[in-house]
Structure 1
Amino acid sequence: MKRVCIIPCGAKKIWDVDPEAGSQPANHVYLSPLHQRTKSYAQTFFSDWMILSAKHGFLKADDIIHENYDVAFGTPRAKQITQEELSQQFHQKNLFAYDELVVLGGKKYRKVIDPLLQPHQKANYPLAPYKGIGYMLQALHQAVESKVELPPHI
Structure 2
Amino acid sequence: MKILDLVKKDLVVTKLEVESRGDLFKVLYEKLYSAGFVKESFLDGIENREAKFPTGLQLSKYGAAIPHTDPEHVIEPAVVVATLSQPVIFKSMENPTNDVKVNIVFMLAIKEPHMQLEMLKQMSRILQNDSLLEQMLQANEGDEIIEIIKTA
TM-score (norm 1): 0.29
Bigger RCO of structures 1 and 2 (CA < 8 A, at least 6 apart): 2
**Rg larger in structure:** 1
Structure with greater proportional strand content = 2
TM-score (structure 2 length as normaliser): 0.30
**Higher normalized helix content (fraction of residues):** 2
